[in-house]
Amino acid sequence: MTVLFGVLLLTMLVVTAVAIVRTKNLFVAVMLLGIFSLLIAANFFILDAADVALTEAAVGAGISTVLFLGALALTSEFEKVPTPHRWLSLAVVTGATLVVLYATLDKPKFGDPGAPAHQHVAPWYLEHTPEYIGIPNVVTAILGSFRGYDTLGEVFVVFTAGIGVLFLFSARRRPAGRRKTAGLQDLDIGLRKDVIPRVVSRLLAPFILLFGLYVQFHGEYGPGGGFQAGALIAAAFILYALVEGEERTLQALPAGALVALMVGGAMLYGLVGLLGILMGSNFLDYSVLSEQPVSGQQLGIILIEAGVGMAVTGVLLSIFHAFAARDRV
């Protein structure tokens, strides 16, 4: 049954990918990219990778669609006339496809228990997570503790991307004095004229925030964690900004607070790592943070996940506001 669903989803994935390449309308391409992300998220889910599926659905289908639309608002809706080197690109793509297809011949069969992925470190993680970390979600244990260096790197990549976008975009921001302060009754802003989206979005935004916090703090027990929670919390604010206008969202969570979240999240992660050294162990070893090694590990994971969530929220919302501000200049 899983194979059947997998084949169906992958076929639809290929169809969507071809449609994305074929379409000349960039707006259609963005919508198809959202569908692509949802399909690949469903595919991850039937392969039991719930954490990855949640991230893909929140970031791929949600946030990046909004960011693409924000970028599209600054440019034209239609693709430019294709460049004349089409045969060259086709040859390169065909070559790369053949190489990848050749590489798949050596791969183990789907679900093969003897595959290297199931023989290398994965059994060790599965066996020792209850003993060392004591949390049910092994993915969070690997992400937060066993491979804490990798996640630290990912947070700093996200952080760097946020800084890069702010550098590129914030130079042309309007001076604060000229902004008119918007009242709640000013119907020209956002989608305020549309009563139904306005009412429903105002109703749902707090629950999306609540769900984001649930995903953040329930990450040790179920699918979720800082990355997914950050995307969900950012989505709630972006929804509010789309309906009520960017000004009121910036009043609720000012740009300075977003930068503080970005920097604070990355710093929190790094400082928890340094705390390990100060308490007499290695960088990012949480066992020494508490008297019991297991509860120390859990405390460390909660702290670094909070750092990840803060950094992701700050970066995504900063990027969104950077695009939105650019739109109005």
Partner 1 sequence: MAMLLDVASWILLSAGGVFVLVGGIGALRMPNLYTRMHAASVTDTMGALLVIAGIMLQAGLSLVSIKLAAILLFLLFTSPTSSYALASAALLAGIKPDAGSTADREDAP
Residues that bind partner 1 (CB under 8 A): 194, 196-197, 200-201, 203-204
Q: Which is nearer to partner 1, 219 or 273 (CB)?
A: 219
Q: Which is nearer to partner 1, 112 or 194 (CB)?
A: 194
Q: Which is nearer to partner 1, 208 or 234 (CB)?
A: 208
CB of 69 to partner 1, least distance (A): 12
CB of 207 to partner 1, least distance (A): 8
Q: Which is nearer to partner 1, 32 or 301 (CB)?
A: 32
Best CA proximity match to 71, nearest among 312, 314, 284, 320 = 320
Q: Amino acid identity of 84?
A: P
Q: Please give the backbone phi and psi of residue 289, each rounded to the nearest 5 degrees, phi first.
A: -70, -20
CB of 110 to partner 1, least distance (A): 27
Are 268 and 303 spatial neighbours (Cβ–Cβ below 8 Å)? yes
Q: Which is nearer to partner 1, 204 or 255 (CB)?
A: 204
CB of 278 to partner 1, least distance (A): 41
3-state SS of the chain? CHHHHHHHHHHHHHHHHHHHHHCCEHHHHHHHHHHHHHHHHHHHHHCCCHHHHHHHHHHHHHHHHHHHHHHHCCCCCECCCCCCCHHHHHHHHHHHHHHHHHHHCCCCCCCCCCCHHHHCCHHHHHHHHHHHCCCCCHHHHHHHHHCHHHHHHHHHHHHHHHHHHHHHHHHHCCCHHHCCCCCCCCCCCCCCCCHHHHHHHHHHHHHHHHHHHHHHHCCCCCCCCHHHHHHHHHHHHHHHHHHHCHHHHHHHCCHHHHHHHHHHHHHHHHHHHHHHHHCCCCCCCHHHHCCCHHHHHHHHHHHHHHHHHHHHHHHHHHHHHHHHHHHHC
Q: Which residues contact 213 (CB under 8 A, 6 or more apart)?
A: 229, 233
CB of 77 to partner 1, least distance (A): 12
CB of 155 to partner 1, least distance (A): 30
CB of 65 to partner 1, least distance (A): 13
Q: Which is nearer to partner 1, 197 or 270 (CB)?
A: 197
CB of 241 to partner 1, least distance (A): 16
Q: Which is nearer to partner 1, 140 or 201 (CB)?
A: 201
Q: Which is nearer to partner 1, 134 or 197 (CB)?
A: 197
